[in-house]
Each structure stands twice: as C-alpha cells, then as structure tokens.
A = this chain, B = another copy of it.
Amino acid sequence: MLAGLNFATLLLSVAVCQGSRYKDIDSETVSVDQGSTYGSLWPLPQQVSLSEVSFKLSSSSFRVVDAEGSSAGPSCNILQNAYRRYYEYVFGNPRKNGHFKRKAATSELSELQVSITSGDSDCDGYPGATSDESYELTVDQPYAILKAPKVWGALRGLETFSQLVYEDEYGAKSINSSKIVDFPRFQHRGILLDTSRHFLPIKVILANLEAMSMNKFNVFHWHIVDDPSFPYLSRTFPQLSQMGAYQPYTHVYTPGDVKMIIEFARLRGIRVVPEFDTPGHTQSWGKGQKDLLTPCYSGPTPSGTFGPVNPILNTTYDFMNLLFKEISEVFPDAYVHLGGDEVDFNCWKSNPNIQKWMDEHGLGKDYAKLESFYIQKLLGIVAATKKGSMIWQEVFDNGVKLPADAVVNVWMGSGLQEEMFNVTAAGFTTILSAPWYLDYISYGQDWQRYYKVEPLDFKGSDSQNKLVIGGEACLWGEFVDSTNLTPRLWPRASAVGERLWSAKDVTDVNDAYSRLSKHRCRMVERGIPAEPLFTSFCRHEYKGN
C-alpha cells in the first residue's frame, strides 16, 4: 500500500508518492547501504587510515590510563568521567570473567593511553570559543595512544576510539589498527533547544547533551525564555518565573538545575550559551516585572495588552543591568545571546508616550532606530559584565553599532547568501542557522538536505570565509516537548554535526548513509531514541518506551 512503489524502487527514491493529494515530497536519493570504508565513524575525522589488522579488547583487562607525562591526571574530572563513560559505552555492563587480570594475548589491545600535551590541560576550565579540540589517535600494539593538546580534544578522541570498536561475529569486542588525525573544520557547532514554548525536563536536556557529545557538537544554545513562558528562576527577580513560568515549581529551572546542566555539558566539552531574547519575544517577562513591557494603545487609551520591552524608561535599563549581571555570573561562558529578532513595531507605534519620546530624541517615525537605541544600550550593559554578545541577524540588518567581538546569528532563509556576504564584509563573526531549522519536518530523508549545505557557499573572500565560525541546528519548541524531542532531533542533527566537523569534501551521501545508519543504531544502544533513516533494523532496538 505504499505509494505505487515496490520495495526495490523505494530503496532508490522516495520522491514519488501516492497520487498524493497533500504532500510535496522532496526528491532525495535513498541510498542502499553498501557499507563504508570508514565503518561507523561519525562525524568523519579529517584523516583516517585503517588497517585490516585487528585486536581484541577484554572487558576485564582493558584499561584507559593517563599517559606518562600527560598534563592531566587522576584529579582531572573531565577525563576520569570520560574514561568511565566510554568504558561503559564500549563494554556495556560486562559479565565478570573471574577475578584475575588475564595476561594480554598477542592479538589483544590492553590499553589506551591518553596524553594531554599542552602545559595547561584546561581540565578545570570551561570549553570556550577558541578551545582546541584537535587530537591524534593511534591504535596499535602494545597500546593505543590518544594525544591532544587539551582535554577537549581528548574527549573528541575518546568518542572516536569508541566508534572504532566493533563486535566480531562471536561478540568479541575488536578494533583495527588505525591512525587518526582530527580537528573540527568549524569551531562553533551548536544545537538550539527552546525551553519556553514547551518546558523540557532536565532529564531530556541531559540526554541531548549526551547525544551532542556523540556527534561532536560543542555549543548548547539555550533559548531559555520567550513569549510563552519564563522557566529561568532568577535569584534577583524570582517573580519572573513565579509569574511567568507555566508553573512556578514544576516548570522552572532552579539555580541548582542550571548549574548541573552547565557541569554536565562541561564534562562533555560543551559550552552553554544562554539566550535572553529582547526586546521582542518577552510576553512572559511582563507578567512578573511591572512596567517592563510597552503598554499598547487602542486609540487614546491603553488596550490592556503589551508589546516589546519599553525602551524609553530608565527603569528598563536598571532591570536589565541587574538581570544581565546575574546571568553573567550564573553562566560561565564568555558569550550571552541577546536575541533581538522579530520586533513588532505596532505596539510602539500605538503608544503616544513612545511617539513623544521619539520626537524629542529626533527619531521621528523610525522604529528600527528605536529598536537600535535599545539594543545599543543593552550591548553596553552586557559589555560591562565582560561578556561578548551574540545576536540574531536583524540587529545587524538594522544598523546597530556592534562591538567588534559581536557574533551575528544568521537565520533567515531568504537572501541568505547576501546576508552572509554583508555580515562578513562588515567584519563580524558569523554563525549560520538558516538551513538547519529542524523543527520544520517533512516526509522522507530530510537529513540529506541538511547534509548537503555548504556553509561557505557565498561569494566571500578568504578573510570573509574565516569569519564564519560555524553553525547551529535549531529545534524550536512549538511542536516538540519531552515526548518527541529526542527522536526528532537525532539523527537529523547528526547530518549538521558532520557538515560542521568534517572536511569540506566529505559530501558522499551514500557513504554518509551507511555510516549514519550504524551511528544511529549506536546512539540507540547508548539509550538515545534516535529515529531510523529508512527501512532497517538495529541489532538492539530501542526498548525505552
């Protein structure tokens, strides 16, 4: 009954589809899995040499150890935690093979030595905008060696090591002799989750941070508040969540929750960049903070509804000052995302006090200038907290004078190439989100569409290209909550992960299909309900629901 096609045809294409009355199915190639020389590696490392010589790994004798001379040792939480995590991923919960440590057989790999080569391992720090994630991994006897300047690279290398391990037909854990040299093509590889349109329980956020690390993502862009709800529990302004959350106890992130999420992310080399979007997208803020939002007028009288943040009151800036001071202390990352998108001018236009103020300040009827006035002041407030600012593209488009270190987040699909050109021509660092709005779903293998994007596909100079530091896959929250978020995000976001990590010429969709199918089954085995790419099976199906 599917679609006038038999299975064989389906393998080749899902483009055609039932004299279909509703759907415009994109024409994507569905690949037959013909295997990949690169096994299940995802994202594909920069340089890979795999030999056919294989070694076995014994759960009772295999060790991950700090190499002699490594600048990080047993006190390095990031590494010790990662050793445990990857031991468990590789071996599961192994049966005990007696108490003796067996002598390594000749065809056995008994040790992975991890060496942090830089003087400062960064072990006690947070990952940042310029953190070094490079590593080199050599798998050979008598032991494998993972070298990385910083712990961040070691984390990426441990993931790669775990991806090299496979089971032979007798179930024995095995790994082939190999040599990998690796580093990310783009520094900034993010996932945006939206906890305002639907509240996401901590457990869901942590599961997705875990999945991010399996895909070598390194930025959690936390769109934490927005119009529908304000789940961030502020110490300075507790009434914001008290009044603005869906529910002030069960649907909030307490300071402890936020701390836990940041630490969980840090242990996986993931930055947490919070977004407090203003002056639009702030309906929920108004519930707990009197006079923060602009009263809209219906003719000469207030209508009872409210618009964007009120930019003409000093109290607004007093409030923002205190709030962003708190934010700068709660979130260790060097950047805060200030939003600045989609400001609706109608309410400002309706309000006579705004009009009067604009006349007095020579802004006339130019509401984009009013918006710029507000953002300019906010940028100053944030700069005073020693943080850098990320903003959505409208802030740039409206001609706001941006600090040199501002990062422009490009999200609009129309005029994309021109925008990328303009932002980088003006010398600003850019992050690309436009092609990767994963909340938009459609029938078929849309991961291929995300995969085929080339972030530097605009006519920029070399120096302009260098300003494109990466991208983000965005999963806006209108239609996702804890029931469906994880399978909707993975492995679709994995396609973005490889695009941002691997070399520019890694574009073979068939090869990607083969590796990604295996990678998604690996995620399933690790407890992440990543959805299937197409008709297939995993050795261990997801049993969680």
Q: Which residue of B lies closest to A344 (CB)?
A: B6
Q: Which residues of B contact A20 (CB under 8 A)?
A: 413, 440
Q: Which residue of B lies closest to A416 (CB)?
A: B21
A483 contacts B by Cβ under 8 Å? yes
Is B7 a contact of A228 with CB atoms below 8 Å?
yes
Is B484 a contact of A539 with CB atoms below 8 Å?
no
Q: List residues of A (158-181) whose CB comes within 8 Å of B's CBs.
A: none
A227 contacts B by Cβ under 8 Å? yes
Q: Which residue of B lies closest to A30 (CB)?
A: B478
Is A226 a contact of B7 with CB atoms below 8 Å?
yes
Q: Which residues of B contact A440 (CB under 8 A)?
A: 17-18, 20, 22-23, 443
A103 contacts B by Cβ under 8 Å? no
Q: Which residue of B lies closest to A413 (CB)?
A: B21
Q: Which residue of B lies closest to A446 (CB)?
A: B22
A71 contacts B by Cβ under 8 Å? no
Q: List residues of A (479-495) whose CB comes within 8 Å of B's CBs.
A: 479-488
- In the complex the two chains form, what is the Cα distance from A105 to B23 in whole Å? 57
Most buried by B among A433, A481, A536, A540: A481
A545 contacts B by Cβ under 8 Å? yes
- In the complex the two chains form, what is the Cα distance from A528 to B201 in whole Å? 16
A543 contacts B by Cβ under 8 Å? yes
Is B531 a contact of A484 with CB atoms below 8 Å?
yes
Is B542 a contact of A481 with CB atoms below 8 Å?
yes
A87 contacts B by Cβ under 8 Å? no
Is B483 a contact of A2 with CB atoms below 8 Å?
no
Q: Which residues of B contact A229 (CB under 8 A)?
A: 537
A291 contacts B by Cβ under 8 Å? no
- What per-residue 1/0 map shows which CB atoms of A277-289 lie under 8 Å from chain B? 0001101000000
- What per-residue 1/0 map shows which CB atoms of A231-266 lie under 8 Å from chain B? 000000000000000110011000000000000000
Q: Which residues of B contact A344 (CB under 8 A)?
A: 6
Q: Which residues of B contact A201 (CB under 8 A)?
A: 541-543
Q: Which residue of B lies closest to A482 (CB)?
A: B542
Is B198 a contact of A536 with CB atoms below 8 Å?
yes
A34 contacts B by Cβ under 8 Å? no
A342 contacts B by Cβ under 8 Å? yes
Name the contact of A6 in the complex, choosing from B14, B281, B529, B532 (C-beta under 8 A): B281
Name the contact of A198 in the complex, choosing from B8, B10, B537, B545 (C-beta under 8 A): B537
Is B532 a contact of A442 with CB atoms below 8 Å?
no
- In the complex the two chains form, what is the Cα distance from A339 to B1 in whole Å? 8
Name the contact of A442 in the complex, choosing from B415, B441, B524 (C-beta under 8 A): B441
A544 contacts B by Cβ under 8 Å? yes
Name the contact of A414 in the complex, choosing from B19, B477, B483 (C-beta under 8 A): B19
Is B535 a contact of A197 with CB atoms below 8 Å?
yes
Is A537 a contact of B203 with CB atoms below 8 Å?
no
- What per-residue 1/0 map shows which CB atoms of A13-39 lie under 8 Å from chain B? 010011111111010000000000000
Q: Which residues of B contact A5 (CB under 8 A)?
A: 342
Name the contact of A439 in the complex, choosing from B24, B443, B486 (C-beta under 8 A): B443
Most buried by B among A21, A339, A341: A21
A207 contacts B by Cβ under 8 Å? yes
Is B537 a contact of A23 with CB atoms below 8 Å?
no
Name the contact of A18 in the complex, choosing from B23, B281, B412, B442 (C-beta under 8 A): B412
Is A543 a contact of B203 with CB atoms below 8 Å?
yes
Q: Which residue of B lies closest to A19 (CB)?
A: B414
Is A442 a contact of B439 with CB atoms below 8 Å?
no
Is B342 a contact of A442 with CB atoms below 8 Å?
no
Is B21 a contact of A481 with CB atoms below 8 Å?
no
A125 contacts B by Cβ under 8 Å? no
- In the complex the two chains form, what is the Cα distance from A199 to B542 in whole Å? 10
Q: List residues of A (425-462) whose CB comes within 8 Å of B's CBs.
A: 433, 435, 437, 439-444, 449
Q: Which residues of B contact A474 (CB under 8 A)?
A: 1
A392 contacts B by Cβ under 8 Å? yes
Q: A281-B6, A449-B22 are in contact. Are A529 and B541 (CB under 8 A)?
A: no
Q: Report the minimal beta-carbon distance from A306 to chain B, rounded to whole angstroms.
A: 11
Is A1 a contact of B483 with CB atoms below 8 Å?
no
Q: Which residue of B lies closest to A483 (CB)?
A: B529
A135 contacts B by Cβ under 8 Å? no
Q: Report the minimal beta-carbon distance from A420 to chain B, rounded to whole angstroms.
A: 14
Q: Report the minimal beta-carbon distance from A90 to chain B, rounded to whole angstroms.
A: 21
- In the complex the two chains form, what is the Cα distance from A412 to B477 in whole Å? 34
Given contact pairs A14-B478, A20-B440, a sample of 10 additional A-B residue pairs in the complex whose CB atoms are under 8 Å apart: A1-B342, A1-B433, A18-B411, A20-B413, A22-B26, A247-B539, A478-B534, A479-B534, A481-B541, A483-B530
What are 9 A-B pairs at a CB distance below 8 A? A1-B339, A6-B342, A20-B440, A21-B413, A203-B543, A204-B545, A442-B443, A481-B531, A481-B541
